[in-house]
Amino acid sequence: MLASDYQELRRIIYDRSGITLGENKQQMLSCRLARRLRELGFASEREYLRFLTSPDGESEVDAMLEAVTTNVTSFFRESAHFDHLTGQLHEIAGKGSNRIRIWCAAASTGQEPYTLAIVVDEVMRALNRKLDARILSTDLSTEVLAVAHEATYQEKDLAPIAQQIRARQFEPVVSGSQRLFRVVERTRSLVTLARLNLAKPPFPMKGPFDAVFCRNVMIYFDDIVRGRLLDEIHRVLGPEGLLYVGHSEGLTGWDHKFERLAPSVYRKIT
């Protein structure tokens, strides 16, 4: 890939998604775009770039972003966050509130929002009480949102989930010769999936949310995009709402309106 082509692709990716690629990511980008070049019949990144920036290439920009973005996820990833959230939900319910609203800012293929839904459903089971609970889960990628909508996973994907919870929260389904597992409708119905570009505020939702999970996302953004995103999260969180970020994404050194409660857990302050 020519250096000039890489710089132009970096610019397009940043402008459309807020993702910042470093100077040393040229080989990585070339590898990730190789499949798109083969599928479309382009012999070089230069030909692909010409198409991408032409009127006919507008829809290909989304496909390029699908190829570039990383979607690493699992059920109960960084599990301490879900233990903390469980305690917070019991506290909210203990105060007599029946309303729970959570935003998962990076749905990926669905493991994180459905983990949140499982946590909420298990809390309702423990309380023996129905809560007015809703989980909004967003992502830039329509491809991963389609997978999340199916809510169907291989048995190995369920490994982090305790057997008793697994039995309550998943039902076996047959797909050809494969034995798969789908999140039960009761829990699945708590989640609403939608496409959202985190780099393009203001966001359409008003909140207020009790908690926002924005984990392992901001590491891809520069300070300008991070700052705008934090401002929007602060706006949509309710009073003393909680922000959960990835364990490698502490807010130290950033200008923000949150106080630290626990590792990578913050509370909104005004």
Tens place of pLDDT per residue across the chain (270 aa): 788 999 999 999 999 899 998 888 899 899 989 989 999 999 999 999 999 999 988 889 888 888 888 777 999 999 999 999 999 999 999 998 999 999 999 999 999 999 999 999 999 999 999 999 999 999 999 989 999 999 999 999 999 999 999 999 999 998 777 889 999 999 999 999 999 999 999 999 999 999 999 999 998 899 899 999 999 999 999 999 999 999 888 787 777 899 999 989 999 998
Backbone angles phi, psi at 170, to 5 degrees: -135, 150
* Known catalytic residue at 255: no
Question: Which domains are present in the chain?
Answer: 3-68 (1.10.155.10), 80-268 (3.40.50.150)
CB 204 within 8 A of CB 95: no
Name the catalytic one among 5, 101, 121, 139.
139
Q: What is the pTM of this model?
A: 0.90
Name the catalytic one among 32, 168, 182, 235.
32
End-to-end alpha carbon distance in the chain: 48
* Known catalytic residue at 15: no
